[in-house]
């Protein structure tokens, strides 16, 4: 952590929380009798409440999108690149809200929370939540904060899917939907990767059918494998080659199964550090939310029809080396919006960093994003 905070950072931030007693009806048919939201905000809400922006996080993200929790923090929030004074999501102009989604493990109600019905942790009993559920719950948070309409709902990857869902489900409450490195629904290949991640977790002997809290263990190996797999899909072949190549840690082959190549070392490190701060049941839930996301399914599988009621203006951004959600997937979204004559801007960013590119400071990406966000006059 730097001794002084960078001037373009929102600086020190403190998470807040709100408790909701009104039951939340979920797509799976079950109801959450009560729930908590943990969230962070940056910038100031203007008197008209017209400058609020919602940030939706992706699979392993959380409410800590920008700034530092303490001067001892090694790293800032996950989207420090894009949120802060003078950045694309300019906190001098916007009031930024980023909640941890329900089913998460960073403070909002999820598998690690206590089930009021029996006083025990929900664990695997936590209902499977969908992107639609998240959007519905985020709307209750907006209500509680006095935000009638978001200036923009913004997200990358699974977060971008929430932007799409917001524009469809609450047409009057979203002025701009920013959809970055997303897809209108998962492909069979995407689902296959998710299934592999789930199988890795569920076949870990320490998983105990999701009741591992009772056994005082975590399915470390499974979760680590799931994360390693995820990381492969976040990077491109090119970036792996330039980052690791075939470089050997000890400069020679050892003819064994310990870590030899740098890429192995990287993946193991990513996997190991992840298991210490992420819950396996949450990981399972998040992958299911991804698999189920399919807004067109309610509209005869016609995405253009799904968007018919949307009134938001759209910014769609994709990255050329992203193979998890390729540019072709973003073009599906663009095509559907064009068909409906919606306001849409689409930028295809040349970048070799793969899916992860949406988190990185790529000049053209930040330029387009900033220029678009400046169009919305709020102050």
Partner 1 sequence: MALRADLDIISGWITPGSRVLDLGCGDGALLAYLQDNRRVTGYGLEIDDANIVKCVQAGVNVIQTDLDAGLSDFQADAFDYVVMTQTLQAIYYPHRLLNEMLRIGREGIVTFPNFGHYQARIQIGLGGHMPISKSLPNEWYDTPNIHLCTVKDFERLCQQQNIHILQRNVVDHAHKTSLGMRLLPNLLGEIALYRFERKR
One character per residue 326-345, x = contact with partner 1 (rule: CB under 8 A): -----x--xx--xx-x-xxx
**Residue 367: CB partners within 8 Å, gap ≥ 6?**
none
Q: Give yes or no: 176 in active site.
A: no
Interface positions, 169-188, toward partner 1 (CB under 8 A): none
Q: Give yes or no: 355 in active site.
A: yes
Check if the beta carbon of residue 69 is closer than 8 Å to that of residue 63.
no
Q: Is residue 347 part of the contact set for partner 1 (CB under 8 A)?
A: yes
Q: How far is the CB of 255 from partner 1 (least distance, A)?
A: 48
Nearer to partner 1, 47 or 341 (CB): 341
Nearer to partner 1, 269 or 364 (CB): 364
Nearer to partner 1, 98 or 349 (CB): 349
User: Can you tell me the distance from the alpha carbon of 374 to that of 157, in angstroms, rounded to the nearest whole number?
Assistant: 23
Q: Give yes or no: 322 in active site.
A: yes
User: Can you tell me the distance from the alpha carbon of 353 to that of 340, in angstroms, rounded to the nearest whole number?
Assistant: 32
Q: Is residue 377 part of the contact set for partner 1 (CB under 8 A)?
A: no
Q: Is residue 374 part of the contact set for partner 1 (CB under 8 A)?
A: yes
Q: Is residue 378 part of the contact set for partner 1 (CB under 8 A)?
A: no
From 85-93, 109-117, 257-265, 364-372, span contacting partner 1 (CB under 8 A): 364-372
Contacts with partner 1 by CB under 8 A: the residue count is 20
Q: How far is the CB of 310 from partner 1 (least distance, A)?
A: 15
For 118-158, the DSSP string reads TSSB-GGGSPPP-HHHHHHHHHHHHHHTT-SSBSEEEEETH
Q: Where are the beta strands (DSSP E) in 43-101?
A: 52-56, 83-84, 89-90, 95-99
Q: Count of CB atoms within 10 A of residue 145's CB?
A: 18
User: Can you tell me the distance from the alpha carbon of 142 to that of 139, in angstroms, rounded to the nearest whole number?
Assistant: 5
Helix (H, G, I), strand (E, B) or coil at 40: strand
Check if the beta carbon of residue 153 is closer than 8 Å to that of residue 174.
yes
Nearer to partner 1, 263 or 310 (CB): 310
Interface positions, 273-332, toward partner 1 (CB under 8 A): 331
Q: Is residue 361 part of the contact set for partner 1 (CB under 8 A)?
A: no
Q: How far is the CB of 302 from partner 1 (least distance, A)?
A: 13
Check if the beta carbon of residue 184 is closer than 8 Å to that of residue 295.
yes
| Class of residue 335 by CB neighbours under 10 A (exposed 0-12, middle 13-18, buried 19+) | middle
| Residues recognised as catalytic | 157, 322, 355
Binding site for partner 1 (CB under 8 A): 331, 334-335, 338-339, 341, 343-348, 350, 364, 367-368, 371-372, 374-375
């Amino acid at each position: 952590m730097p001794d002084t905070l960078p001037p373009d950072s929102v600086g020190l931030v403190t998470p807040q929380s709100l408790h909701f007693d009104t039951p939340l009806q979920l797509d799976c048919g079950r109801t959450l009798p009560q729930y908590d939201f943990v969230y962070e905000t940056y910038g100031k809400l203007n008197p008209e409440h017209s400058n609020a922006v919602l940030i939706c996080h992706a699979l392993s993200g959380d409410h800590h999108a920008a700034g530092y929790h303490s001067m001892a923090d090694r790293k800032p929030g996950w989207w420090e690149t894009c949120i802060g004074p003078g950045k694309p999501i300019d906190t001098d102009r916007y009031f930024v809200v980023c909640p941890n989604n329900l089913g998460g493990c960073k403070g909002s109600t999820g598998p690690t929370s206590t089930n009021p019905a029996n006083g025990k942790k929900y664990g695997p009993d936590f209902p499977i939540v969908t992107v639609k559920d998240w959007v519905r719950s985020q709307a209750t948070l907006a209500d509680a904060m006095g935000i009638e309409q978001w200036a923009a709902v913004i997200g990358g990857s699974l977060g971008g899917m929430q932007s799409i869902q917001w524009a469809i489900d609450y047409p009057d409450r979203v002025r701009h939907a920013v959809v970055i490195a997303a897809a209108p629904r998962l492909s069979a290949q995407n689902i296959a990767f998710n299934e592999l991640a789930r199988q890795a977790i569920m076949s870990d002997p320490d998983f105990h059918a999701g009741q591992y809290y009772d056994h005082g263990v975590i399915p470390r190996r499974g979760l680590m494998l799931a994360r390693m797999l995820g990381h492969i899909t976040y990077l491109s072949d090119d970036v792996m080659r330039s980052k690791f190549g075939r470089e050997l840690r000890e400069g020679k082959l050892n003819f064994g199964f310990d870590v030899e190549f740098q890429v192995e070392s990287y993946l193991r490190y990513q996997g190991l550090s992840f298991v210490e701060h992420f819950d396996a049941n949450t990981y399972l839930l998040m992958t299911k939310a991804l698999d189920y996301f399919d807004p067109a399914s309610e509209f005869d599988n016609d995405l253009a029809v799904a968007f018919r009621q949307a009134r938001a203006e759209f910014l769609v951004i994709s990255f050329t080396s992203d193979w998890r959600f390729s540019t072709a997937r973003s073009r599906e979204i663009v095509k559907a919006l064009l068909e409906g004559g919606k306001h849409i801007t689409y930028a295809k960013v040349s970048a070799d960093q793969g899916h992860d590119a949406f988190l990185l400071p790529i000049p053209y990406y930040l330029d387009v994003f900033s220029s678009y966000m400046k169009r919305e006059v709020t102050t």
